[in-house]
A and B are shown apart, each in its own frame.
Chain A
Amino acid sequence: MPTVSMTVNGKAATGNVEGRTLLVQFLRDQLELTGTHIGCDTSQCGACVVHVDGKSVKSCTLLAVQANGAKVTTIEGLARNGDLHPMQAAFKEHHGLQCGYCTPGMVMSAVDLASRNSDPSEQDVREWLEGNICRCTGYHNIVKAVQAGARAMRR
């Protein structure tokens, strides 16, 4: 089995994986980072979004071996010293989550949007999140949270 090494949430991580092992499976099953979720098998739902080298990717759409040598950030790596990241705080403040299942992917995706567009319009947010499905919130509060989170990240 191939060996993969990557930096995950600032720490070195190594493991043996099958060629077919997906990045999300490596994160969840071997590194026990279960905050990254799996909601579908067709790369549609976005529950598994993490950052690879600073960009949001669906970790179900990348083989673990493809992330060899990469810097990966998962939802567990976002809060620092127990303080919520501004985007996480905005989701809480604006009730941008209910069951919490899509939330890690939503937040990781939103952080990437905010890094590209620090003042997204409602339409910008809705179009950006096209690849993240939420069944609980109707997106209304997620949109508000992402706009507020993006503004907070500027500060």
Chain B
Amino acid sequence: MSEPDGINIADEVVRLISVADRQLRTTYSRLTPWQKTQVARHPDRPKAKDYIEKLITDFTPLAGDRAFADDAAVLGGMGRFRGRPVMVLGTEKGTDTESRVKHNFGMARPEGYRKARRLIELAGRFKLPILTFIDTAGAFPGIEAEARGQAEAIARSIEACLEAPVPVIATIIGEGGSGGAIALAAGDIVLMLEHAVYSVISPEGCASILWRDATQASVAAEALRLTAEDLLRLKLIDQIVPEPLGGAQRDKTATLYAVGLAIQEALSNLNGTDAATLRQRRREKFLAMGRETIG
């Protein structure tokens, strides 16, 4: 494929791709916390549903909190991970307008957290390890949610994670938004994707309260230390799962594969640990948090 002037097109394409790759790599290695927040919220990033479809076989969805409703913002069910029966929970944001509305943009109501608690307790009785996938802006702020005890539902869900007599592996796959995220993330091993964010409040919310100006979100994102790297340094998460070049949205298959490997490793590390030891170590892990600093 040689041109008259001697330039080899194929070679040139390879060269350009590698330049583009290098630029992408540079860009993604230097993302600011606010840019990471954008990447974490990217509509094309794999969602909880993708992880369940790819990593779980025999998936058997389970619905409802047995008291009021089924909350589609929280996916739940049993299935097999690498052949081993597990319980799976995930906050699902949806991928198009219709599914986003159906899943309430990933913002769970009390029913969602009560379903989570029910399934965690069920998993405990039948010795199924629990895998959770977290991607939520936070718990839903609504009149009915408050009337039905949103705060209590979240508190009980955290408690259920902490009390579980089986391994709890939590993965922050996109946005780990505040109480709505920790409700499903008080686990033995907490994994976090490279470009995911995990924060006590959204940068916009923080900016509007502390700076009284929501446009200061990028400054707030910086101050909040919400990146995977920061959380690992603070020992608030256990491991970072690297994302493919250019972020999880560019190569879903590679992302799902990497997360699958990390979960497998986490599970095998906890294999054979008895219930009392698991619970005790989980408590000690959380009680030890807060001793690290970012200077």
To the question of whether A and B form a pair in one complex, the answer is no
